[in-house]
Homo-oligomer: A and B are copies of this chain.
Amino acid sequence: MALLNAAPPQTSAAPPEVDVPALTAVLDGRYAAVRDLVRTNLAEYADILVDAEELSIDDFRERVKDVVVEMAATGQTGMGFPEEYGGGGDIGASVAAFETLAYGDLSVLVKVGVQFGLFGGAVLQLGTKRHHDAYLADLVTGRLMGCFAMTESGHGSNVQALGTVATYDPAAQEFVITTTRDDARKDYIGNAAKHADVAVVFAQLEVGGTSQGVHAFVVPIRRDGRACPGVRIEDDGRKMGLNGVDNGRLWFDGVRVPRTALLNRFADVTPDGTYESRIENPNRRFFTMLGTLVQGRVCVGGAGINAAKVALAIAVKYADRRRQFEARSEDEEELLLDYGLHQRRLLPLVARTYALHFAQEVVAGQLHAVFSDTDTPDEEDDQARRELESRAAGTKALGTWHATRTIQECREACGGAGYLAVNRFAALKADSDIFTTFEGDNNVLLQLVAKGLLTDYASDFEDLDQLGMVRFVTGMAVETIVERTSVHKVLERVRDLLPGGDEGDSEAGLLDPDYHLAMLRFREEHLLAGVARRLKRGIDQGANPGEVFSTVQDHVVAAARAHVERLVLEAFVAKVAALPEDDNRVALTLLRDLFALSTIEADRAWFMEHGRLTVQRSKAISRAVGELCRRVRPIASDLVDAWAVPPEMLRSPELVG
Which A residues are within 8 Å of any B CB, using their own CB?
1, 3-4, 53, 151, 153, 155-158, 161, 187-188, 236-241, 324-330, 333-334, 338-341, 344, 404, 408, 411-412, 415-422, 425-426, 429-430, 433-434, 436-438, 441-443, 466-471, 534, 537-538, 541, 543-554, 557, 604-605, 608-611, 615, 618-619, 626, 654
Q: Top 9 nearest A-B pairs by Cβ distance?
A: A327-B546, A328-B546, A240-B426, A605-B605, A238-B421, A341-B553, A340-B550, A340-B553, A327-B470
The complex places the Cα of A341 from the Cα of B560 at a distance, in Å, of 14
The complex places the Cα of A78 from the Cα of B4 at a distance, in Å, of 52
Q: Are B553 and A3 in contact (CB under 8 A)?
A: no
23 A-B pairs in the complex with CB atoms less than 8 angstroms apart = A3-B541, A4-B537, A4-B552, A151-B416, A157-B324, A157-B325, A161-B333, A188-B416, A188-B419, A238-B421, A239-B421, A240-B426, A327-B471, A340-B551, A341-B443, A341-B553, A344-B553, A419-B433, A419-B437, A604-B605, A605-B605, A609-B615, A610-B615
In angstroms, how far is the closest chain B Cβ from the Cβ of A474? Answer: 9
* Residues in B whose Cβ lies below 8 Å from that of A543: 3
* Residues in B whose Cβ lies below 8 Å from that of A605: 604-605, 608, 618
The verdict on A3 contacting B551 (CB below 8 Å), with A157-B325, A470-B325, A609-B615 known, is: yes
* Residues in B whose Cβ lies below 8 Å from that of A420: 236-240
Q: Are B158 and A333 in contact (CB under 8 A)?
A: yes
The complex places the Cα of A436 from the Cα of B415 at a distance, in Å, of 9
Main secondary structure of the interface of A (DSSP, over half): helix
Q: Told that A153-B654, A188-B416, A341-B550 touch, could you supply 11 new A-B pairs with CB distance under 8 A?
A: A4-B552, A53-B238, A153-B417, A156-B415, A188-B419, A327-B471, A412-B442, A415-B441, A605-B608, A608-B615, A611-B615
Closest to A438 in B: B416
Q: Are B340 and A554 in contact (CB under 8 A)?
A: yes
Cross-chain contact of A548 among B3, B404, B411, B433 (Cβ < 8 A): B3
* Residues in B whose Cβ lies below 8 Å from that of A415: 156-157, 437, 441
* Residues in B whose Cβ lies below 8 Å from that of A156: 324, 415-416
* Residues in B whose Cβ lies below 8 Å from that of A553: 339-341, 344
The complex places the Cα of A442 from the Cα of B412 at a distance, in Å, of 9
* Residues in B whose Cβ lies below 8 Å from that of A151: 416
Q: Are B437 and A467 in contact (CB under 8 A)?
A: no
* Residues in B whose Cβ lies below 8 Å from that of A155: 324
Q: Are A426 and B608 in contact (CB under 8 A)?
A: no
Cross-chain contact of A468 among B3, B326, B329, B468 (Cβ < 8 A): B326
* Residues in B whose Cβ lies below 8 Å from that of A4: 534, 537-538, 548, 551-552
* Residues in B whose Cβ lies below 8 Å from that of A412: 436-437, 441-442
The complex places the Cα of A425 from the Cα of B434 at a distance, in Å, of 12
The complex places the Cα of A412 from the Cα of B341 at a distance, in Å, of 28
In angstroms, how far is the closest chain B Cβ from the Cβ of A449? Answer: 14
Q: Are A416 and B437 in contact (CB under 8 A)?
A: yes
The verdict on A425 contacting B326 (CB below 8 Å), with A415-B441, A550-B339 known, is: no
Q: Are A626 and B554 in contact (CB under 8 A)?
A: yes
The complex places the Cα of A413 from the Cα of B235 at a distance, in Å, of 23
* Residues in B whose Cβ lies below 8 Å from that of A339: 550, 553
The verdict on A429 contacting B433 (CB below 8 Å), with A341-B557, A604-B605 known, is: yes
Q: Are B548 and A237 in contact (CB under 8 A)?
A: no
In angstroms, how far is the closest chain B Cβ from the Cβ of A633? Answer: 10
The complex places the Cα of A179 from the Cα of B647 at a distance, in Å, of 31
The verdict on A538 contacting B3 (CB below 8 Å), with A340-B554, A426-B430, A605-B618 known, is: yes
The complex places the Cα of A420 from the Cα of B341 at a distance, in Å, of 36
* Residues in B whose Cβ lies below 8 Å from that of A334: 470, 546, 550
Closest to A555 in B: B340
* Residues in B whose Cβ lies below 8 Å from that of A547: 3, 328
Q: Are A467 and B619 in contact (CB under 8 A)?
A: no
* Residues in B whose Cβ lies below 8 Å from that of A430: 240, 426, 429-430
The complex places the Cα of A155 from the Cα of B333 at a distance, in Å, of 11
Q: Are A434 and B416 in contact (CB under 8 A)?
A: yes
* Residues in B whose Cβ lies below 8 Å from that of A551: 1, 3-4, 340, 626
In angstroms, how far is the closest chain B Cβ from the Cβ of A169? Answer: 30
The complex places the Cα of A408 from the Cα of B240 at a distance, in Å, of 12
In angstroms, how far is the closest chain B Cβ from the Cβ of A271? Answer: 35
The complex places the Cα of A442 from the Cα of B155 at a distance, in Å, of 40
The complex places the Cα of A161 from the Cα of B188 at a distance, in Å, of 50
The complex places the Cα of A543 from the Cα of B557 at a distance, in Å, of 46
In angstroms, how far is the closest chain B Cβ from the Cβ of A192? Answer: 13
The complex places the Cα of A384 from the Cα of B507 at a distance, in Å, of 46
In angstroms, how far is the closest chain B Cβ from the Cβ of A228? Answer: 25
